[in-house]
Amino acid sequence: MSAYSETIRFAREVLGCGCPEEVFGRVECVFEGRLGEPEPRLRRITIGDRLLIHVRQVEGPIQAAALIPDMVRQGLAERNAKGLNRFRAVLLADIEPEAVMAAAQQAFEALSETDDKVHVHVLPSKAVAGI
C-alpha cells in the first residue's frame, strides 16, 4: 500500500475522520526534526483544506503531559492560520499507553484555548507504519 493510501487509512480508520472523499484529493505529510534529537520528531499531516494532524512519539506519561500544551497551541495556531477545520494531536506511545492517555487528557483539559474541533489521541507506533 502506498504512503498516500496508508495516510488516508490512518485518518479514516484509526482517527475516525468522516471527511468526504473529495477532501482526500490533497494529502501532505512532512517531518520536522532529526532522528536522535532530544525533541521527538514531529510529523505534520494536512488533508485537503480541512484536517491538520500532528504526530509525535513519546516515552511515557511525563513526556506526554509536557508536550501536549505546546503541541495543541501550535496545532491550533497552524490550523487557524491555514483556515483548516479540525486539529488532531496524536501521541505515539508503546510504553504505558493508558497512563500516557490519562496524562495527555489531563494536560489537554487544563488548556483554555481549545474547542470542540480539537482532539487528542494516543496510539501505538505501528498505527502510523507506512506513512
Q: Which domain, by its residues, includes 52?
A: 3-128
89 CA to centre of own chain: 3
pLDDT for 107:
97
| This prediction's pTM | 0.90
Number of alpha carbons in the 13 Å side-chain half-sphere of residue 30: 5
Instruction: Tally the domains of the chain.
Output: 1
Query: In the block, which residue shows the cell 487528557?
Result: 105
In this predicted model, what pLDDT tens digit does every residue of 35-52 receive, in sequence order?
555 555 678 999 998 999
Confidence category of residue 2, pLDDT binned at 50, 70, 90: confident
Instruction: Please give the DSSP secondary-structure letter assigned to residue 36.
Output: T
